[in-house]
Amino acid sequence: MTDEQHVDDEGNLGDVAPGFMDAADHSIREGIQGYLMGFVLAALLTVASFLMLHTNLIWSPGIAVALVVLAIAQIGVHLVFFLHLTTAPDNTNNVLALAFGILIVVLIIGGSIWIMNHLDERMMPMDQMTQTDR
């Protein structure tokens, strides 16, 4: 058995689930370093997001897009450093579940905004609608 293999508390080897922090896998120092790095990166991205409100560096209609990009980056940081999600083959199940979750989330949020905006544009303005009622 090589020291690279994942061995859990019960002495089994195989897949890992998200959030695993094993003393067998990581020294305390490595563990703290990982969380510290995640914390610093997440804090930087958060500060960048909040500074967006006051910046003139970005063309103002593009700020929403920049905010979404920063948020996605920060969620990625959280997934990697806090939830210990990796692209390693022993994480396949976890990543596939996440991919399915992202698909549903994108369909719900993107689909709702898309459809409702179109309905909004095609709807008669409120004042005209009340006139036709009479």
Partner 1 sequence: MSEVEALRHTRSPALDPYKLGHGAGGGRHDYATGHGEGGPASKRVIVGYGFWLFLLSDIVLFSCLFAAHAVLQTATAGGPTGPQLFDPRSVALETACLLTSSFTCGLSAVAAGARNRLWTEVFLFATGVFGLSFLLLEAHDFAGMVARGASPQTSAFWSSFFAVVGCHGCHVTAGLLWLGTMMAQVFFKGFRPSIMRRLVCFNLFWHMLDIIWVALFTIVYLIGEGR
Q: Which of residues 71-90 bind partner 1 (CB under 8 A)?
A: 71, 74-75, 78-79, 81-83, 88-90
Residue with token string 């009622």: 133
The rounded distance, in Å, linking the Cα atoms of 9 and 22 is 8
Burial pattern 105-127, b for ≥16 Cβ within 10 A else e, equals eeeeeeeeeeeeeeeeeeeeeee
State which of residues 64, 123, 124, 129 lies at the interface with partner 1 (CB under 8 A).
Answer: 64
The rounded distance, in Å, linking the Cα atoms of 40 and 37 is 5
DSSP letter for each residue of 69-90: HHHHHHHHHIIIIIS----SGG
Residue window 19-48: x/- pattern of binding to partner 1, with contact defined by CB under 8 A: xxxxx--x-x--xx-xxx-xx--xx--x--
By the rule CB under 8 A, 52 interacts with partner 1: yes
Strand partners, 7: 13
By the rule CB under 8 A, 56 interacts with partner 1: no
Choose between 64 and 129: whose C-beta lies nearer to partner 1: 64
- Contact set with partner 1 (CB under 8 A): 1-2, 4-10, 12-23, 26, 28, 31-32, 34-36, 38-39, 42-43, 46, 49-50, 52-53, 60, 63-64, 67-68, 70-71, 74-75, 78-79, 81-83, 88-90, 92-94, 97-98, 100-101, 104-105, 108-109, 111-113, 116
